[in-house]
Amino acid sequence: MTQEKTALITGITGQDGAYLAELLLAKGYRVHGIKRRSSSFNTERIEHLYQEPQTEDQRFFLHYGDMTDATNLIRIVQETQPDEIYNLAAQSHVQVSFETAEYTANADGLGTLRLLEAIRLLGLAEKTRFYQASTSELYGKARDVPQDETTPFYPRSPYAAAKLYAYWITVNYREAYGIHASNGILFNHESPIRGETFVTRKITRAVAAIAHGHQKKLFLGNLEAQRDWGHARDYVEGMWRMLQQPIAGDYVLATGETHSVREFVERAFAVIGTPLAWQGTGVEERGVDAKTGDVLVEIDPRYFRPTEVDILKGDATKAREQLGWKATMSFADLVTEMVEEDLVEMARLQTPSATKRPEKSQREALHAE
Ligand code: NDP
Ligand code: GDR
């Protein structure tokens, strides 16, 4: 166990925030998280970490806040005096960023600046280490494959452009003010608690719903996109390792393998024993059950993006050599874990004591991005 440190996590209610909070609490940290006020529950992923305010030796705290609210962020940083800040909060959906470009720039780009300014203005430049959740989306249309820390960026969405600003302002505050500020350039990482509108979880939930007879078909966009998919639990370990280095830096975290959306779909259906066959081409293409001929997958052009990122494949040599980090979960195991967890969840929702939940999950499936 490390000595007791205080960490502040923005985006604690998200996939990575939940895994990171678990990791830091297990290491003996006091963990403060920023959550947004929401009209419905948004703390499902961290409910198991919640402690009653009366608990002795309280080590987990939540604060209301928003990346677009500078005075709120300054106050929280002042009150918590963190040794480490992990900036994970973001409007993180690439397709949604085309519709909410200005908000995405504000939350993801300027939000990062607000936190760095809070560190500087409060005189914490020497005390507080900073992690920025940078992304493989920065590479966008980069010609070089695999991508590493030296590959030029070419963002392909308002999300990636906002994250580009966040990347460089983090580098700038490191160089200008000596803040221990690092960028983790993380390739896609997934898990059973991945947001339901990202393609992996959308697929695994649909496969589980189809297996339970709650859904007939899955509608997807571009099946040819290739991604380097790892497991989120591995990646939050890498974030922590970056902030334990004597000198700050920028690191790629990736598995080094790439797979298409099509492969992900095929493997997910294989977990429930359904072999897929493909018929037709373009938007008319269909994925059918090779045994029964039932149509299980169709293309919906609404899910095509104005500009797409065709292939991401990372080279994490620097992280392996300097942080001793590597991805531990294979693609096949990742898909299997996600489908199996969604099958369990789907079965749980079917129990009489949880009658309301299937309605909710079906509603969400209908609105999945
Ligand atoms: P999620 O979408 O699961 O979580 C995003 C978090 O940010 C949620 O807690 C969300 O709150 C919060 N948030 C969104 N907007 C604001 C705002 N304006 N103010 C305060 N909080 C806000 O993302 P992940 O956990 O998957 O990713 C974590 C970070 O890493 C993100 O910055 C993402 O862009 C980046 N990233 C993710 C990768 C991945 O593959 N997962 C890869 C590379 C980078 P709420 O719950 O209320 O919505
Ligand atoms: P990505 O993740 O854009 O890589 O961003 P997402 O899962 O949304 O898309 C991956 C690829 O799948 C294609 N696709 C679909 N995507 C969605 N969401 N829904 C569909 O129906 C669908 N059909 C095909 C997409 O076109 C794309 O090519 C994620 C986020 O976590 C970012 O925050 C993070 O920075 C990057 O990963 C690394």
Q: Are residues 208 and 161 in the same domain?
A: no
Q: Looking at residue 351, what is its pLDDT? A: 77
The predicted pLDDT at position 350 comes to: 80
- The DSSP bridge pattern shows strands 30-35 and 6-10 to be parallel
Indicate whether 239 pLDDT > 90: yes
Placement of tokens 């002042």 in the chain: 78
Same domain for 110 and 181, yes or no, is: yes
Whole-model pTM: value is 0.95
Ligand 1 in reach of 334 Cβ (< 6 A): no
Please check whether residues 211 and 265 belong to one and the same domain: yes
The residues assigned a catalytic role are: 135, 137, 159
Question: d(Cα 349, Cα 356) in Å, to the nearest integer?
Answer: 8
**How many of the other CB atoms lie within 10 Å of CB of 347?**
12
Virtual CA dihedral for 257, 262, 265, 270, nearest 10 degrees?
-80
What is the total count of domains within the chain?
Answer: 2
The reply to whether ligand 1 has any atom less than 6 angstroms from the CB of 66 is yes
Q: Based on the fold, state whether residues 164 and 266 are members of the same structural domain.
A: no
The pLDDT of residue 166 is 99
218 domain-assigned: yes
Ligand 1 center from residue 91 Cα (angstroms) = 6
CA of 358 to the centre of ligand 2 (A): 25
Q: Is the CB of 305 under 6 A from ligand 2?
A: yes
Q: Is the pLDDT of residue 90 over 70?
A: yes
Phi, psi of 174 (to 5 degrees): -65, -45
Residue 314: inside a domain, yes or no? no
What tokens were used for 310?
């065709």
**DSSP strand pairing (295-299 vs 286-289):** antiparallel
* 206: in domain: yes
Domain that holds residue 335: 199-226+259-308+331-367
Q: Are residues 208 and 295 in the same domain?
A: yes
Assigned domain for 317 exists: no
Regarding whether 238 and 290 lie in a shared domain, the answer is no
Are 234 and 304 found together in one domain?
Answer: no
* 115 and 27 belong to one structural domain: yes
Same domain, 247 and 142: yes
Q: Per the structure block, which two tokens stand in for 270?
A: 């294989």
Distance 167 CA to ligand 1 centre (A): 15
Domain for residue 324, yes or no?
A: no
On the question of pLDDT at 196 being above 60, the answer is yes
pLDDT at 360: 38
- Residue 176 CA to ligand 2 center (angstroms) comes to 34
Atom number, ligand 2, closest to the C-alpha of residue 90: 33
Same domain, 13 and 152: yes
Alpha carbon nearest to ligand 2 atom 36, residue? 188
Q: What is the three-class DSSP state of 353?
A: helix
Answer whether 255 contacts ligand 2 (Cβ < 6 A). no
d(CA 81, CA 75): 10
Work out the pLDDT band at 363, boundaries 50, 70, 90.
very low
pLDDT band, very low/low/confident/very high, at 277 (cuts 50, 70, 90) = very high
Q: Are 117 and 169 in a shared domain?
A: yes
